[in-house]
Chain A
Amino acid sequence: MTAVATRVSGQPQPVVSNARSARATKYIVRFVALGYLLLLLALPVMMVFYKTFEQGIEPVLKALSRPGFQHAFWMTLTITAIVVPINTVFGVITALAMVRREFRGKALLNALIDLPFALSPIIIGLSLILVWGKYGWFGPALEGIGFQVIFAMPGMVLATIFVSLPFVVREVMPVLREVGTDQEEAAYTLGASDWRAFWRVTLPSIRWGVAYGIILTTARSLGEFGAVTIVSGRITGKTETLTLHVEERIDSFDFVGAYTASLVLALMAITVLLVMQLFESGRLRRKGHDGHPG
């Protein structure tokens, strides 16, 4: 608020040196922030870009046409396409339960939701093997009916669900709290069933939280490495996602192949971030347009 007022009224500080040092501080802050981001984030990504095309476009196209790469690419997309809807639906349901219902063990559940953030992905992978693997609890029975979980796609989906589970829940919960129950109750008194009140009133009012959660879940699903490494068995052309493919290429000294796969992953992630930015600026514009909250 103050910043805007100052800008509009044209820097009304009477003391010139004060204004000058304020401006200097502003530039220093900007420089440090930008430099930090450049050095630590942008530079490595740009290096990947540079290294990919260092020997021209030819090797890149060759890497892109390799069956191992293409399989990994589709594997990553498929897993993401399965994981994101599942975690969105259950995330919203969990958030609703956490915010709107009272039940025993709520505090425990609340802590449990953050477990994927707290646990190292490697441990998540191992624990999945213990439950679903050949010598695990459910594994033998499932393999008996010809359904393999570990070292196959289902296990990789499970691992990705596990690591990306908290995002939608954690994004939606505060929004639900902020929105309150007034609008839902109003819908009930106007004759709306729980179901219709959810679709027509609750969901539209939490849609930004849901969208944000979906984007974060997508980004995490695309980039997951640790847990998937453990449960996949890393069979090229069979159980390899893009992240695993990058490592496999490095191990085979095919650096252009590794850089190319990395670049594709980075581009996917950047697309997701851009979509998020679009959402965000759309929301800000709406907020500004609406004027006062309430």
Chain B
Amino acid sequence: MAIRVEGLVKRFGTFIALDGVSLNVPDGELTALLGPSGSGKSTLLRIIAGLETPDEGTVWLGDRDVTRVPPQQRGIGFVFQHYAPFKHMTVRDNVAFGLTIRKRPKAEIERRVTELLQLVQIEQFGDRYPAQLSGGQRQRMALARALAVEPEVLLLDEPFGALDARVRKELRAWLRRLHDETHVTTVFVTHDQEEAMDVADTIVVMDKGRIEQVGSPRNLYEHPANEFVMSFVGPVTRVDQGWVRPHDLDILMEPHESAVEAMIERVVYLGFEVRVELVRTDGSHVWAQVPREQAEELELERGQIVYVRPGRARVFSEE
């Protein structure tokens, strides 16, 4: 089911969490709301869910205006950042909650819960309590619980934020696969650009209660609309007035008309790539990302004088 919001404004006291936000999420897409903390991304998600009411603006799910509809009647599934498990219920009862509320027949609930626990791969923990699960397992349980009521929209608030890096990667891939199978319209909030790029079809970049840009991961990376988007989506280094992706910064051994002299301060080996930190003659610092082979070929080392040339610098006019 498609999601559409228009002109959303939300204030908490004097703080403006959302400052006129309009957005279309097409049916069946997986969208990431990406932004730093305080950018309003979670507030937007909670307004779509009905957990917050906007001060101004409208929310549509499909062609239904749900702005004043309580969360119970929106047909959504919501996964909370800290999973919000019902601590006094077993894993099975947690997952069954939505179905029990809907008074489905017992046999059907049993069958569906087993199915869901298998789907999220925690079927062996059905009789445990949430406190006896690991973070990743709890998150899977929360997902199964949200999916149990067959929502038309799945909303996830920083779903992987509290997990360690390995589990996070695993669950990310799993969420992507799940979405490819079910095609439920999914929106998730994250402050991790890598996560957004990895999972989402479309990324909505937010800052200070406004949407900065909406686009595919590649589109945002290659054609950022402004300085904020460029620096938030992918690494950047500043050269004079422009911004450059560090892998677009060429290191030359000989002087060149568009290159500037710089001294290597530090060479950091990060597996496949090498990070070269430089200080230019005017005292400004830049850094470049070069493949390992190239770094070895050029025999880059600390104290060396080289010439750096920004390959594809972008200058954004101040707004």
Contacts and interface: CB of A to CB of B under 8 A. Distances in A.
A187 B86 CA distance: 9
Contacts of B97: 187, 190, 192, 200
B82 interface: yes
B84 A192 contact: no
A186 B132 contact: no
Contacts of B146: 189-190
Interface in A192-206: 192-193, 196, 200-201, 204-205
Contacts of B101: 190-192, 196
Nearest to A189: B78
Contact of B84 (A182, A191, A291, A293): A182
A75 to B, nearest CB: 38
Contacts of B98: 190-191
Contacts, number: 70
Interface in B85-136: 85-88, 97-98, 101-102, 129-132
B82 A190 contact: no
Contacts of A193: 72
A183 B77 contact: no
A224 to B, nearest CB: 34
B131 A292 contact: yes
Most buried by B among A186, A193, A196, A294: A186
A15 B211 CA distance: 66
B86 A201 contact: yes
A189 B102 CA distance: 12
A192 B80 CA distance: 16
Contact of A186 (B80, B88, B102, B131): B80
B87 A188 contact: no
A290 B130 CA distance: 9
A293 B102 contact: no
Nearest to A292: B131
A192 B73 CA distance: 10
A254 interface: no
Contacts of B87: 183, 205
B36 interface: no
Interface string A270-294: 0000000000000000000011111
Nearest to A290: B131
Contacts of A291: 131-132
B76 interface: yes
B49 interface: yes
Most buried by B among A186, A188, A190, A292: A190
Contacts of A205: 86-88
B145 interface: yes
Nearest to B46: A185
B149 interface: yes
B71 A188 contact: yes
B70 interface: yes
B316 to A, nearest CB: 39
B197 to A, nearest CB: 28
Nearest to A184: B84
